[in-house]
């Protein structure tokens, strides 16, 4: 028995020594690797930029709108195609500076992260902060004239290890060496999709004004409905908007989108219309204020510039277009007042979006 126990003890001791030796060698190798990482990072640049460009034969506004609104990314982004089941969340800002997209995906090529638009210069430049784990980056879209009908779109990404804690910077610098191979193919695929999407869109003009077919996400609102003579409209709308704005503030809510009216009918110069302000969540209020909701759907939008009292012919052109193209109305027309007439005295610069909801 004693020799057997001694053998087992010696075998156990040998195994422990072998394990300790392995751990010691592993620790030395790990230390050497860390030293090599640190040493290599000392000679590597802190910033790494990857950029790709493409020529697009389309108006800059048709290119810009697909980038400036994160809701549009699903039409061209390469990452949407890699995981069609990923979960996407948007903040309350529809587009432009402050708009944020957050996503969660089980696909390692998509992962989890968020993008926030930090700067949006219409038809020229968009800067985006990209956050994925511990290594944030900045992305930029730059739109420049190339030829008479072409625009050059450049999509770039910059990773800066200098912005990270000192213990993460060396690893970030090494990862930056692979940034080109990681993102360049996706940039090229995304730009190609943007080119095809933008060039396929045709210009629409109704009544001499730019128009477009738009997907509308829906909007909760508070409204006051009146029947008004033409001479009464201006004063009554001002009174109604003041009351609606006060109600929204008193309910600790936020106004959403531009002020608008829903125009139910016009007969014998008496207008049945509802003065409305969009809100970020459904609200209830007492008479004469009533809550409502513009349902999601398709909108024909005419971008009218000019005085309000001269909209009549544009309305006529809009209704004619609807009939000629077999578009069946799904609700009364709406006027979104994009320009504040108090802030802009020149009526020629007043932008009103005339909206004709229809069944898509």
In this prediction, residue 304 has a pLDDT band, given cuts at 50, 70 and 90, of very high
- Kindly report, residue by residue over 8-66, the tens digit of the pLDDT: 545 556 555 556 655 555 555 555 455 544 544 445 555 778 899 999 998 888 899 99
Alpha carbon separation from 26 to 19, 203, 344 (Å, rounded)? 10, 66, 72
Whether the pLDDT of residue 176 is over 60: the answer is no
Q: How many domains does the chain have?
A: 2
Whether the pLDDT of residue 243 is over 80: the answer is yes
Q: Are residues 241 and 347 in the same domain?
A: yes
List CB contacts of 231: < 8 A, sequence separation 6 or more. none
Q: Are residues 145 and 189 in the same domain?
A: yes
As a whole number of angstroms, the distance between CA 337 and CA 340 comes to 7
- Is residue 328 helix, strand or coil? coil
pLDDT at 108: 85
Whether the pLDDT of residue 110 is over 90: the answer is no
Whether the pLDDT of residue 152 is over 50: the answer is yes
For residue 327, the Cα-to-chain-centroid distance in whole angstroms is: 28
* Residue 271 · residue 230 · CB < 8 Å: yes
pLDDT at 178: 62
Residue 317 main-chain phi, psi, to 5 deg = -65, -35
Q: Are residues 268 and 173 in the same domain?
A: no
As a whole number of angstroms, the distance between CA 102 and CA 109 comes to 15
Whichever domain contains 98, its CATH number is 3.30.530.20
Q: Are residues 270 and 350 in the same domain?
A: yes
pLDDT at 48: 79
Choose one of 157, 174, 201: the last residue of a domain.
Answer: 201
- Find, among 260, 253, 257, the residue nearest to 283 by Cα: 253
As a whole number of angstroms, the distance between CA 333 and CA 357 comes to 7
Q: In this predicted model, which residue has the larger pLDDT, 333 or 6?
A: 333
- Average pLDDT value over all residues in the chain: 85
Alpha carbon separation from 17 to 7, 8, 12 (Å, rounded)? 15, 14, 9
pLDDT at 129: 95
- Kindly report, residue by residue over 69-103, the tens digit of the pLDDT: 998 898 899 988 888 888 899 998 888 999 999 99
Q: 86 lies in a domain?
A: yes
Q: 284 lies in a domain?
A: yes
pLDDT at 37: 47
Count the residues in the chain.
Answer: 360
Whether the pLDDT of residue 234 is over 70: the answer is yes
pLDDT at 1: 45
As a whole number of angstroms, the distance between CA 311 and CA 337 comes to 13
Q: In this predicted model, which residue has the larger pLDDT, 195 or 179?
A: 195
As a whole number of angstroms, the distance between CA 77 and CA 66 comes to 10
- Mean local confidence (pLDDT), 342-350: 92
* Residue 297 · residue 360 · CB < 8 Å: yes
Choose one of 169, 201, 233: the last residue of a domain.
Answer: 201
Alpha carbon separation from 76 to 66, 91, 122, 231, 249 (Å, rounded)? 8, 20, 20, 48, 39
* Residue 183 · residue 137 · CB < 8 Å: no
List CB contacts of 157: < 8 A, sequence separation 6 or more. 49, 50, 51, 130, 137, 138, 139, 140, 179, 183, 187
- Mean local confidence (pLDDT), 201-211: 86
- Kindly report, residue by residue over 114-151, the tens digit of the pLDDT: 999 999 999 999 999 998 865 678 999 999 998 767 89
Q: Which domain holds residue 264?
A: 210-358
Whichever domain contains 258, its CATH number is 3.20.80.10
- Mean local confidence (pLDDT), 205-229: 93
- The three-point CA angle 91-94-98 to 5° equals 65
Q: Are residues 302 and 219 in the same domain?
A: yes
Choose one of 177, 201, 225: the last residue of a domain.
Answer: 201
In this prediction, residue 167 has a pLDDT band, given cuts at 50, 70 and 90, of very low
Q: 2 lies in a domain?
A: no
pLDDT at 34: 53
Determine what percent of the chain is predicted with pLDDT higher than 90. Answer: 56
């Amino acid at each position: 028995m004693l020799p057997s126990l001694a053998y087992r003890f010696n075998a156990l001791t040998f195994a422990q020594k072998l394990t300790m030796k392995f751990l010691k060698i592993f620790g030395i190798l790990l230390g050497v690797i860390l030293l090599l990482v640190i040493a290599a990072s000392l000679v590597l640049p802190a910033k790494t930029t990857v950029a790709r460009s493409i020529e697009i034969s389309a108006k800059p506004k048709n290119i810009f709108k697909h980038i400036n609104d994160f809701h549009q990314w699903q039409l061209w982004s390469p990452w949407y195609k890699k995981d069609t089941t990923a979960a996407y969340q948007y903040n309350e800002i529809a587009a432009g500076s402050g708009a944020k997209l957050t996503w969660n995906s089980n696909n390692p090529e998509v992962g989890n992260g968020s993008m926030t638009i930090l700067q949006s210069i219409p038809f020229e430049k968009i800067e985006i902060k990209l956050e994925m784990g511990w290594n944030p980056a900045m992305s930029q879209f730059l739109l420049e004239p190339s030829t008479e009908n072409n625009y050059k779109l450049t999509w770039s990404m910059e990773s800066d290890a200098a912005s990270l804690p000192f213990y993460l910077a060396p690893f970030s610098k090494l990862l930056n060496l692979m940034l080109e191979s990681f993102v360049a193919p996706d940039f090229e695929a995304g730009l190609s999709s943007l080119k095809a999407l933008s060039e396929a869109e045709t210009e629409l003009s109704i009544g001499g004004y730019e128009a477009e077919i738009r997907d509308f996400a829906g909007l909760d609102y508070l409204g006051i409905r009146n029947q008004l003579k033409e001479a009464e409209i201006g004063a009554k709308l001002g009174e109604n908007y003041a009351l609606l704005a006060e109600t929204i503030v008193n309910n600790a809510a936020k106004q959403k989108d531009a002020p608008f009216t829903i125009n139910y009918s016009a007969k014998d110069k008496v207008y049945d219309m509802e003065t409305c302000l969009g809100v970020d969540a459904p609200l209830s209020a007492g008479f004469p204020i009533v809550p409502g909701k513009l349902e999601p759907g398709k909108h024909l939008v005419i971008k009218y510039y000019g005085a309000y009292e001269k909209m009549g012919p544009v309305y006529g052109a809009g209704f004619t277009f609807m009939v000629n193209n077999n578009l069946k109305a799904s609700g009364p027309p709406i006027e979104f007042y994009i320009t504040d007439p108090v802030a802009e005295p020149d009526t020629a610069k007043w932008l009103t979006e005339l909206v004709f909801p229809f069944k898509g």
